[in-house]
Every structure is written in structure tokens, then in C-alpha cells.
Amino acid sequence: MQRAGLSPDLLYLEAELGRIDLLIRREVRRWMLAGQDPNDDYRGMYIAQTEAAALLERPFAVSWGQWVELPPEEADAIDAAFEQATQQLETTAQHFAAQGLTPRLLKLAHTFGLDRTALDIFLLCVAPAFDTKYERLYGYLQDNVMRRRPSVRLVLDLLGGAGAAKFALAPYLEADAPLFAHRLLEHIIEPPPANAHWLNQTLHVDETVVAWLRGGYTHHGMLAGRVRLETVEPTCTDHILAGAFAQQTQAWCEDKTPLLAFYGADRTRQDAAARCVAQRMGKPLLLVAIDRAVETQPARGEIVRVALRDARLTGAVAYLCSWEACLNEDRMAPPDVVAAICDHPDAVVLAADSRWQPGGIDRTRAIHWAAFDTPTIAERQALWRHFLRQRNHGVSSLLDDVVDDLAAHFALTAGKIRDAVAAACDRAGRRAPTGDELFAAARVYSNPRLSALARKIEPRFVWDDIVLPENQLAILHELVAAVRHRPQVLETWGVGRKLVASAGVTVLFAGPPGTGKTMAAEVISCSLGLDLYKIDLAQVVSKYIGETEKNLERIFSEAASSNAILFFDEADAIFGRRSEVKDAHDRYANIEVSYLLQRMEHYDGVTILATNLRANLDEAFTRRLQFVVDFPFPQAADRLRIWQTLLPPETPCAADVDFGALAQRFELSGGAIRNILVSAAYLAADNGQVVTMAHLLHSTRRELQKMGRMVGESEFSV
């Protein structure tokens, strides 16, 4: 039965086409008997008088082949051959069934509910894809050598009765019939001068279906570059990425045809969970990127229907990614698309960036929802360790605390953690990456788009550089400790479930200009290993009502995945506008302050406000901040420490330099002292190559003049 080297799929298809050949043979013979000469090279290109006369005599809806009868002996021979071919098909199917094999053509008929007539129509249409002889035969039977595919009329002529009886097959050829509803066939309107009416429309088979019958899978044109068929094998990585959802797949798959809706920011974990579903069901996974397909094919419903058709062909779990591309402005899916998904008799996984709403249809199929938000800290710890082990580096005892800090400080998705580990390992080469390399990679894979809205500051200062009273330094250390121990307090100890609205840390730095607010932000950034972004609130605040809130929303939206410290400088621009409500502008100024504090509270990172006007904040607003640090104007002892700390040890200094005298004589902020030291260094480089007391006094005079303060000559004597 089975010839060597040939698949059961093609052998069975060959047997089916042998049966179709007999239908075509009978029709061609009748055409010849009706006087249609196949040797006429110009046949179909003109109409002779005799043909016109014959057409007038031909009954309604009767083809040339149906107008004449075959001689009895020919008719009997073809009928006998047709009966024998039908029996041979049954024998062939039984032979393969005994071997546990089902030819693809029979799978196609079973999967899409095709009866014998529908299957015959499909075979007539698919035949030219396997043998070009059918192209010329169809051209002959349609009296047009250019018509190489069967038309609706030809199918009715070959399979239907004569006259009006042939239209009993019309329901098989309508748009809602299984052949067309499942996109196995499509109606094509031929270009002019062909008539566009239904009988004249050409029937085409999708190349995806043809390729599948040959034994492979080739995606539909509208899915080019946007679909991938994966044979899924169980992997440790998928189960770690999916986390708790890997176990939940068992419950989902108890429903033999689950409809799953994944949503959230972590697409990598969604992909892993979809693979776990396919693994659990023992099926391949057909991944379709809806958003990329919509770019070239705006008919979203058609994309979904073709994807579902391909999933049924391949026996795969349909995984429709970027499902949000199918939603309208209200995040509702089109009812007809939802209906098509609900009618799909197998598992479907929909993956979107956020939750959406099905509606508009009477739906009986349940949807199982699963939120894939940014992994929890415990999950991030597991992911960092897994990807390091996967790179054959493991996690040494030295890196163990680093991994915990990475998980605590960087709210990265699983995909970004994987990429960050790869980047750190690339930089490390053959050795294991260091903590600094892992932190640097984690910062790179935080959202880089924040730099378009804020200025990134490279931290230059450490704890030894900052000079503050003991109490203020203690608060800064407590702030850093709070950030570091958020995982333990909020998750392990359960404080985050009821007592805290978010994992964010909100801070107010208040004090005169130059007292160290920006330096303190840099010290915190350096200590935590987090990026620091400075936002000038004076540039964010708008005179137009509502614009300030929009500007702030853009910043916080971009910062949501940046894992950065947000440092809002010049907060006086917004707090200074807050006052007693006298008109609409006062009311909106107060709303801006409330909105900023609200967004700070809901941001999971660290936000710092710097202001010179703490008095403009009342107790209600101060209570909403976790830390408030007052930066006092430095006293003489603190000024001495600032002079000594800020001067780099490499800077050559004369013996007459007396920082104690400078600290006692001049009441300056740390920022002013920094400016003086820089100016004095330039003077020394141009005159003497050593910083002297004269250089420092001269620079101090210039700084005081710049500040508009009165300058007495006696103060600057050496």
C-alpha cells in the first residue's frame, strides 16, 4: 500500500485526486461531444455564429458538458471507475488508521467540519497546487485559457446537477460556509474585463493550507515575519520565569480548551507561561505578534481569524501577543473578534500590556485572567540567581548580598534581568561579573527614555564628602537603610499589605541654596548604586491650567520602569505658588502640589524634593513625606570641615593657607566655598602653580561680589 519514501499524507491526497480526475474526465468528454474543440488555438477568444446559435438553444444553467449525454458504455465505465476509486479511498484510510496514522487531508476535513461535498470542492481548488495539468483543464472547461483556477460556476458544473439543481450546492460556496469561514478558500474577483458577479469569482486555496498538506508550515502573507511555530520542550528557565503561574497551568489545563488572558508589563514571563501551557497540553505553540501584523494589515479581525485557522491546522496553542493592538480606546475588544476566539475549539492565550474588557456578545466560554506585573523582589532574586547560574557563573557568597540588593533596588522585568546578566557577563569575559558590573548593567537596562525628560547626574560624592550636623547625617543614613531593607519590611514582614501604599520612599530636602541638597542626593545615589535624575520643577510648571500635571505625569510614567532616584530641584516653583485660595489660579496651584505628592507616593522608587521654602508646606503635606531633612546654613566648625573636605589632596597648597581663618571670617555656604576653591585653583595655575591664601581671599571677594554682599577691604588682608 505505502510506496517507499512517500508520506501517508501525499499518498492519500493522490488517491483523492484520482477520484477528482474522473469527475473532470467526464466533463471534458461531454464538452468534446458538444463540439468544443480542444485543438482550436483561439478557442475562448472569439464567439462564432454557430456557437451563438447553440447558446440560444442551451437550457438554463446547463454547461456544455451537461447538454449532451455520454454514450452508455463510456458513462458506465466512468461510473464504475468512480465507485472503485471511492472504495479504494476507504481501504487506504483504513490501512493508515490500522497503523495509527491519519492523513492530513482527513485531519483537515475533521478539524474544520468538511463533509464529502465540501471536501470535493476543496480538492478541485487545491489540485493545481500539486499538478499543473489541472490549470489547462480548467482553462478548457471555462472556455478561457487565462482562467487557471476553478470559478464558482465550474465547481457547480462539476459537482452539481443540471439546470437549477446545481444551485443546491450554493450554501457550500457562501462566505459563511466552513471552507470560507475558516479561510481554507477565498473568493477572488478577477481583474477587468472579467465580470465580478458570484458565478464568475475564482476560488483560491491559501498557500498556508497547501504547505501544510505537503507536510510543512508556511505562514499566511499577512503574518509574514509576525508568527512563529515553536515545538515546546520543558525547560527549567520557563518554569522559573513563569513563577507561580507555572504551577497554575495545571488548573488551567483541566479545562481542555482554556481561554487565558495574560496582562501586565512583563512580556517575558507571559511568554514563559504560554510555553508552560503548551508543554502541559503536549502541543506546539503558535506565537503571533498582533501589533506588528496590524502595521501592514489593519483588518484586525482577519488577522485573528487567520491565526486561529493556523493554530487549528498545526494543532498548536494559539498565543496572540500584543493583544492591546486589537482594542479600542475604551480597551474593549471588537465583539466579532471575541466571538471568533470563543468559537475556537482549542486553547487560546491572549497577552496584553494591561487588563481589558470583553463585551458585546453573549459569551459562555470562561476567561482565566493572570496578571504578570513586574516580578516581586523574591522572584527577582530567583531570576538573578538563575541567569547567573545559566551562564555557568553561579552566585558566590560574595555576590549573594549583591543579588539581593539588585533585586531590591531594580524593579526590572524578567527579560531585562536576563539581558542585564548577559551584558555584565559580556563585560566580565571569562570570569564571573563583579557586583559593580551587575549594578552597571542593571542601570543600563532600566528605562533609558527618562533622560529625554530629566538630566542624569553622575554621582561624584560619597559619605566622607558631605558635611552636615550629626542629626541630619543620621536621617540620610536611615533613608538609605529604608531603601535597602524594603524587601524584608514590606514583603517578608507583611508591612506592605496594609500599612504602606507603595514601596516608594518620599523625601524633602529643605534649606538655603548651597547647603548640600544636591550633594546629599548624589551621596545617596552612589551609596545605593542607583541612577540619579534631576528634574528642574521651574521648567515643568506651566502657567496653563492642567499642563503642569501632564508634564509631571510624563516624567513619572517614564520613571516607572527606570528604577532611578528622582530629584526635583527648585521645588519652590510649585510650593511658592501654594497660598490661601482667592481665585481659580490659587486653587489649581494647590492642586499641582497635591498631584506631585500623590505621584511621589505611588512611585515605587525614591523621590526627593529640594526647596528653599519649607514654610510653604503645611503639616498635612509634610505628613505625607517619609523623610524631611533640613540643611542648615553651616556654622564655623562645619565651614572648616567643608573647606578641608572639598579641596582635593592633589591640589598644591601653600603653607600660608589658613582654612580656620577663612571659616571664621566668612559666612559662606558649601556651594559658595566650592566656587571659591575652583576659582582659586585657576588663579594658581596661571600665577605661581600653588594655591595661596591670597588666591583664596581674592576668589572669596569675587564670590561675595557676585552674591551682592558688601565687601570691606580689611576682611581680605592676608
Q: What is the pLDDT of residues 580-611, one digit of tens each?
A: 444 444 444 566 677 777 888 888 889 998 88
pLDDT (0 to 100) of residue 582: 46
Residues 6+ apart with CB under 8 A from 45: 145
pLDDT (0 to 100) of residue 138: 87
Q: Is the per-residue pLDDT at 128 higher than 90?
A: yes
Q: What is the pLDDT of residues 304-349, one digit of tens each?
A: 899 999 999 999 999 999 898 888 888 888 888 888 899 999 999 9
**Nine cell digits for residue 198:** 458570484
Of 569, 669, 548, whose CA–CA distance to 612 is shortest?
569
Q: What is the pLDDT of residues 399-456, one digit of tens each?
A: 778 888 888 888 888 989 999 999 998 888 888 888 889 988 988 888 667 777 788 8
Print burial letters for 8-17: b (CB count within 10 Å at least 16), e (below 16): bbbbbbebbb
Position with higher pLDDT, 491 vs 683:
683
Question: Using 50, 70 and 90 to split pLDDT, how confident is the model at 629?
Answer: very high
pLDDT (0 to 100) of residue 66: 60
Instruction: Write down the mean pLDDT value for the chain.
Output: 83
* Cα–Cα distance for residue pair 681/676, rounded to 1 Å: 9
Ordered domains of the chain (ranges, CATH): 8-214 (no CATH), 221-371 (3.40.50), 377-445 (1.10.8), 463-630 (3.40.50.300), 636-716 (1.10.8.60)
Give the range with max mean pLDDT: 94-103, 117-126, 245-254.
Answer: 117-126
pLDDT (0 to 100) of residue 578: 46
Residue 695 C-beta-side C-alpha neighbours within 13 Å = 24
Question: Using 50, 70 and 90 to split pLDDT, how confident is the model at 70?
Answer: confident
Q: What is the pLDDT of residues 197-248, one digit of tens each?
A: 888 889 999 889 999 999 888 877 777 778 889 888 877 788 888 878 888 8
* Cα–Cα distance for residue pair 88/86, rounded to 1 Å: 5
* Cα–Cα distance for residue pair 354/501, rounded to 1 Å: 20
Q: Is the per-residue pLDDT at 543 higher than 80?
A: no
pLDDT (0 to 100) of residue 579: 45
pLDDT (0 to 100) of residue 587: 45
* Cα–Cα distance for residue pair 336/289, rounded to 1 Å: 19
pTM (two decimals): 0.75
* Cα–Cα distance for residue pair 487/401, rounded to 1 Å: 13
**Nine cell digits for residue 272:** 514563559
Q: Which residues pair with 578 in a beta bridge?
A: none
pLDDT (0 to 100) of residue 594: 75
Q: What is the pLDDT of residues 362-393, one digit of tens each?
A: 887 889 999 998 888 888 888 998 888 887 65
pLDDT (0 to 100) of residue 580: 47
Indicate the Cα dihedral angle 612, 617, 621, 624, nearest 10°: 30
Summarize the confidence of residues 280-305 as an average pLDDT: 82
Please enumerate, as own/partner, the contacts of 650-654 that have beta carbons within 8 Å and a separation of 24 or more. 651/681, 651/691, 652/684, 652/689, 652/690, 652/691, 653/690, 653/691, 654/690, 654/691, 654/692, 654/693
Q: Is the per-residue pLDDT at 162 higher than 80?
A: no
**Nine cell digits for residue 475:** 536621617
pLDDT (0 to 100) of residue 210: 92
Summarize the confidence of residues 60-68 as an average pLDDT: 60
